[in-house]
Amino acid sequence: MSAKEEAERPTLLILRSHIGYPSPDLTDTSQAHGEPFSEEEIKKTKTLLGLDPNLSFQVSDQVRDYMRERGRRSSNIRQEWLQRVAKLPAEEATLFESFSTLKPTVDLDSIPVNFESGTKIATRKAIQACMDAFGENLPFLIAGSADLTGNTGMKINGGHLLSKSSRDGNQVAYGIREHIMGSAMNGMALHGGILPIGGTFFIFSDYMRPTIRLAALSQAHTIFTFTHDSIGLGEDGPTHQPIEQLASLRAIPNLHVIRPADANETVTAFKFAVSTDKPTVLVASRQAIRVLNETEGKADLVLKGAYNLKSVTNPRVILIATGSEVQLALDVSKLLEDENISASVVSMPSWDLFELQTQEYRKSLLPDNVLKVSIEAGSTLGWDRYSNLQIGLNRFGSSAPADINFEKLGFSPESILAKIKSSLI
């Protein structure tokens, strides 16, 4: 039985190949892998293949005529297809346009996703709220997870699993296969007509780095969501607590990396990930964090990558933070005020979006001759471009509840206040 005839089981084909074949001198050698053939070797190999050794580019009349005929045939097929599309009923035409362009069927800004200021919600759950609110208007969205669907919020409201018996499914159960998940997502994105969104814990982005890098390299419109984003992961301990992952992904060109401060910023980040034509990484918290009154109505500013969350005239200190540490920066600013030290707070959800802004804007937000303090519960690598004092974590975490972890590892308002006061002396 041949592989094509097998109807039930996958078939593994083992091919015994010879690298460089039929080169008379380089077949089965390492040189055939890593070095170009010499001109003489090329001629010898062409002769063995029945090609004219003196022609540098040769296409037989048979191949040329075949390809031209296929092109004419395909042109007719395309015209027939365009005619069928033109005859689609209005509702189906709208749906077809949505799939073709990856544009929502309605403006997502017209759909309210509201969170009450002062309440607490993990940003991973805010992503789930976006999926619930926008899902039916994103018919091209296919969601999935590396065995962590409930934990990462990768469940489309009313969605169902893609399977052999359900080809119209919009959920994918990837299993514990992060690298394969990223590869499949890139394939879907580059095929077109599909916007894949997939999630796992942030620490497991290490397993996906090659596929994230290829998404950036090929400009695949892929959305990677990574939750459990810091030492706030807590009791799972240092093996699961990402320290260097943010710095690592920020280093990849052509990749948007966004770590929202709260649920409000998360909504803006999600909409952006849908609308952009580049791959986007959304980094979200496991632990519940405050919905900040200061972030409400700041969508346009969030998309600048950084903005003044709390502004004062002539600040002595500018606190810059991302993610769950933004609320910590606000708490620190209040302690500084009690010490008669004026402090502004800048939320910086995305370095790469901030770098796209004008130098004027960047300087207005982070002027010279002011103590700028970055606060992020991860590696401080790279923060010296924006801050004079870096509050971060250049060691691995520990196993403890989130609030205890933050306090013991130097992320309490009092600990940060002391470091700032020492720097001001």
Report domain extents, the chain. 108-293, 304-424
DSSP 172: E
What per-residue confidence (pLDDT) applies to 197?
Answer: 97
Outline where 49-174 has alpha helix (H): 61-86, 90-101, 123-134, 149-152
For residues 43-54, average pLDDT: 92
**Would the pTM count as exceeding 0.75?**
yes
Q: Is the pLDDT of residue 425 over 80?
A: no
Q: Which residues pair with 389 in a beta bridge?
A: 373
User: Quick one: pLDDT at residue 180?
Assistant: 96
CA angle 291/295/298 to nearest 5° reads 145
Please give the mean pLDDT across all residues of the chain: 94
C-beta of residue 70 within 8 angstroms of C-beta of residue 76: no
Q: What is the pLDDT of residues 144-178, one digit of tens each?
A: 999 888 888 899 988 899 988 898 899 999 999 99
Give the sheet arrangement for strand 343-347, strand by strand. 307-310, 343-347, 317-321, 371-375, 389-391
Amino acid at the residue 196 = P
DSSP 37: P
pLDDT tens figures, 338-376: 999 999 999 999 999 999 999 999 999 999 999 999 999
Q: What's phi and psi for 385, nearest 5 deg?
A: -70, -20
Quick: pLDDT tens for 275-285. Answer: 999 999 999 99
Task: Tell me whether the CATH fold assigned to 108-293 matches the one assigned to 304-424.
Answer: yes
Q: What is the 3-state secondary structure (H, E, C) of 15-34?
A: CCCCCCCCCCCCCCCCHHHH
Residues belonging to the active site: 178
Quick one: fold of 304-424? Rossmann fold (3.40.50)
Contact at 8 Å (CB) between 255 and 388?
A: no
The residue-averaged pLDDT of 318-327 equals 98
Give the CATH superfamily of 108-293.
Thiamin diphosphate (ThDP)-binding fold, Pyr/PP domains (3.40.50.970)
Q: Mean pLDDT over residues 6-15, rounded?
A: 89
The pLDDT of residue 385:
97
pLDDT of residue 246: 98
Please name the residues in contact with 312: beta carbons below 8 A apart, sequence gap of 6 or more: 342, 343, 344
Distance CA 397, CA 243 (A): 8
Question: For residues 295 and 347, what is the distance between their CA atoms, to the nearest angstrom?
Answer: 9
Written as one string, the DSSP assignment of 182-196 is HHHHHHHHHHSS-EE
φ, ψ of residue 95 to 5 degrees: the values are -65, -45
pLDDT of residue 253 exceeding 90: yes
pLDDT in tens, 70-80: 888 888 899 99
**Contact between residue 175 and residue 204 where contact means Cβ atoms under 8 Å apart:** no
- CA nearest 170: which of 193, 204, 201, 190? 193
